[in-house]
Amino acid sequence: MPTRIVHKESLIPGTTSKLVLDAPQIASTAKPGHFVMLRIDEQGERIPLTIADTDKEQGTITIVYLVMGKSTAALENLKQGDSILDVCGPLGRATHIEKQGTVICVGGGTGIAAMHHIAKGHHRIGNRVVGIIGARSKNLLLFEKELSSFADELLISTDDGSYGHKGFVTELLQQRLAADKSVFEVVAVGPVPMMAAVAKTTQPFGVKTTVSLNSIMVDGIGMCGACRVTVGGETKFACVDGPEFDGQLVDFAELRRRLGAYRSQETLSLEQYRCQCHG
Partner 1 sequence: MDNAKPKKVIAPRTEMPCQPAAVRARNFKEVALGYTPEMAIAEAKRCLQCKKPGCMKGCPVEIHIPEFIAAVTQGDFDAAYRIIKGTNPLPAVSGRVCPQENQCEGKCILLAKGQPIAIGRLERFVADQHIAGTACEEVSGSSTCTMAPLCDDGNKVACLGSGPATLSCAGYLAANGIKVDVFEALHEAGGVLIYGIPAFRLPKDVVKKEIDAMRQLGVSFKTNWVGGRTVQVSSLLEQGYKAVFIGVGAGLPLFLNVPGENLIGVFSANEYLTRVNLGRAHSFPAGSDTPVYPGKHVTVFGAGNVAMDAARTAMRMGAESVHIVYRRTRAEMPARREEIEHAEEEGIQFEMLAAPLHFNGDANSVLESVTLQRMELGEPDASGRRRPQPVEGAVYDLPTDLAIIALGTRSNPILLDATPELDKNKRGYIVADEETGETSIPNVFAGGDIVTGAATVILAMGAGRRAAKEICKRIKG
Strands 35-39 and 86-91: antiparallel
Q: Is 67 helix (H, G, I), strand (E, B) or coil?
A: coil
Q: How far apart are alpha carbons 200 and 174 in whole angstroms? A: 10
Of 69-77, 95-103, 131-139, 211-219, which part binds ligand FES (CB under 6 A)? 211-219
Which residue among 30, 66, 91, 239 contacts ligand FES (CB under 6 A)? Answer: 239
126 forms part of the interface with ligand FES (CB under 6 A): no
158 forms part of the interface with ligand FAD (CB under 6 A): no
Q: Which of the 8 DSSP states describes residue 95? A: P
Which residue among 161, 225, 232, 260 contacts ligand FES (CB under 6 A)? Answer: 225
217 forms part of the interface with ligand FES (CB under 6 A): yes
Which parts of 259-278 interact with partner 1 (CB under 8 A)? 260-262, 265-266, 268-269, 272
Find the DSSP H helices in the chain.
Answer: 24-29, 70-76, 111-125, 144-148, 169-179, 192-202, 238-241, 252-259, 263-277
Which residue among 243, 245, 247, 255 contacts ligand FAD (CB under 6 A)? Answer: 243
Q: Which of ligand FAD, ligand FES, partner 1, none does 243 bind, CB closer than 5 to 8 A by kind?
A: ligand FAD
Q: How far apart are alpha carbons 71 and 270 in whole angstroms? A: 8
Q: How far apart are alpha carbons 188 and 168 in whole angstroms? A: 13
- Please give the distance of CA 109 from its chain centroid, rounded to a whole number: 9
Of 16-24, 101-109, 153-161, 216-224, which part binds ligand FES (CB under 6 A)? 216-224
Q: How far apart are alpha carbons 16 and 73 in whole angstroms? A: 10
**94 or 207: CB nearest ligand FAD:** 94
58 forms part of the interface with partner 1 (CB under 8 A): no
Which residue among 126, 204, 222, 232 contacts partner 1 (CB under 8 A)? Answer: 222
108 forms part of the interface with ligand FAD (CB under 6 A): no
**69 or 121: CB nearest ligand FES:** 69
Q: How far apart are alpha carbons 74 and 183 in whole angstroms? A: 41
Contact 240, 221 (CB under 8 A): yes
Q: How many residues bind partner 1 (CB under 8 A)?
A: 42
45 forms part of the interface with ligand FES (CB under 6 A): no
Per DSSP, the chain holds a count of helices (H) and strands (E) of 9, 17
Q: Which residues are at the interface with partner 1 (CB under 8 A)?
A: 1, 25-26, 29, 39, 43-46, 70-71, 85-91, 218-219, 221-226, 228, 230, 235, 237, 240, 254, 257-258, 260-262, 265-266, 268-269, 272
